Structure 1
Amino acid sequence: METRKVLSSLCYFSIFFAGFIFPLAVYLATSDEGTKQHAKKSLFSHLIPLILTPLLVFAVFHDFTAQQDTIPVFTIISIIVLALLWLIIVIWNIIKGVKVLTAE
């Protein structure tokens, strides 16, 4: 198996073990344009939930400081949206990693 395919697929699979660190390291260290493209795509997909996580923090802060007697709707919606987003991104990374490994 080619090293560039393995590195490219590991960039996607790193969502399970190294987060955005591994794709960033591969992007900075490699000179192969194909591998760089995969590292950039996987890095972006790893950062999307991290960018939206402050929304959850804001929702929790807003709901629990505004009114004590109401249901924290904003927090519940934020948790559901972020959980669905994480699930979609994990599935997308698995699919892309497998596609890279099986591509000829």
Structure 2
Amino acid sequence: MEQNKVLSALCYISLLFAPFLLPLIVYFVVKDSEVKFHAKRAFLSHLIPVVFLILISLFGVIGMFSSYYYDMNSFAYIIFGLMAVYMIISIACIIWNIIQAIRVIR
């Protein structure tokens, strides 16, 4: 039972060293349903910042080629604002994963 808790917590903490790989491997290898549940939650929480970064990148590429030269300053402000939001989301996901790992261990 203790090994399952450690493995579940490790899925959350893996955001710091192997974000997608460890929860995915644990999900497909381990048979315990509780560990699978935590591995799936950890994988999805690791995916949130990546999806947001892809959306920002698409917006940046589309906006860069569709903006006029004289309008680039406002576009740059928007991109920097979105990157600030991305950083906040990433930090929030890291904190959430650490809190979840601590809850699983207890």
Compute the TM-score of the two structures, normalised by the length of structure 1: 0.88
Q: Are 1:100 and 2:104 matched, yes or no? A: yes
Gaps of 5+ in 1: none
Q: Structure 1 segments of 4 or more deviating over 3 A?
A: 62-65
CA RMSD, Structure 1 to Structure 2 (Å): 1.5
**In the TM superposition, what whole-angstrom CA distance separates every residue of 1:18-54 from its partner, at most 9, and x where no partner exists?**
0111001000001111111100100000011111212
The aligned counterpart of 1:26 is 26
How many residues align? The count is: 102
Q: Are 1:9 and 2:9 matched, yes or no? A: yes
- The percentage of counterpart residues that share the same residue type is 34
Deviation of 1:68 after TM superposition, in Å, equals 3.0
- The answer to whether the 8 A contact 1:23-1:39 is kept is yes
**In the TM superposition, what whole-angstrom CA distance separates every residue of 1:54-94 from its partner, at most 9, and x where no partner exists?**
22212332443313343212211220111111011000000
Residue number among 78, 82, 88 corresponding to 2:82 in the alignment: 78
- Higher helix residue share: 2
